[in-house]
Amino acid sequence: MVNLKPRLYGWGFLILLTMSTLKEHQKFMRMAIRLSEKNVADAKGGPFGAVIVKAGKLIAKSANKVTLTNDPTAHAEVSAIRLACKKLQTFDLSGCVIYTSCEPCPMCLGAIYWARLDTIYYANTKTDAAAIGFDDQFIYEELELKMEQRKLPIIQLMRNEALPAFKQWELSPMKIDY
């Protein structure tokens, strides 16, 4: 005979757990969205916000700071990663997750991979961003093309002179792997 009671209790517990997790996700995503709204209201930059969280604890948050700091790399996600790494004194954010008010652009996506964040939660899509003038689709398209077909000229020079640094790294006993 199958004992249903413990199984039902188990499912109920799982649903409760999932709901509380969802509530936590929503709390942090709302924080990212509020940052994006405040950035526009304060005329400080683009409508983007990002929040980095570790084990349910807020580690860092940032809005987009491109025009404020004249830094084209100061997207919300990259800025939040910089703050989180500074706070945790590490270049490795594994164990952390990022909530971003918009699907990351290729630069931020790359930065998120480099920082080894566990999960990306996003709200607006890149199509929503393109509709208000933030179109990064061309970068995705460029990446698909062969180097010589891209809009941005990319020209190789002096590999022979550059390679010894790689050899030096390979052999260095002082290197910090990352």
Based on CB atoms, which residue is closest to Zn ion, 22 or 131? 131
**Does the annotation mark 170 as catalytic?**
no
Number of helices (H) and strands (E), helices first, in the chain?
A: 7, 4
Nearer to Zn ion, 88 or 109 (CB): 109
Distance of alpha carbon 43 from alpha carbon 63, whole angstroms: 11
Q: How far is the CB of 148 from Zn ion (least distance, A)?
A: 26
**Strand, coil or helix: 128:** helix
What CA–CA distance (Å, rounded) separates 32 from 40?
13
Which residues of the shown chain bind Zn ion in the complex (CB under 5 A)?
Answer: 75, 105, 107-108
24, 77, 144, 148: which is the annotated catalytic residue?
77
> 84 vs 105, which CB is nearer to Zn ion?
105
Cβ of residue 108: shortest distance to Zn ion, in angstroms? 3
Minimum CB separation of residue 21 from Zn ion in Å reads 26
Tokens of 45: 């930059």
Handedness of CA 102, 105, 110, 115 (dihedral sign): negative
Which residues are known catalytic residues? 77
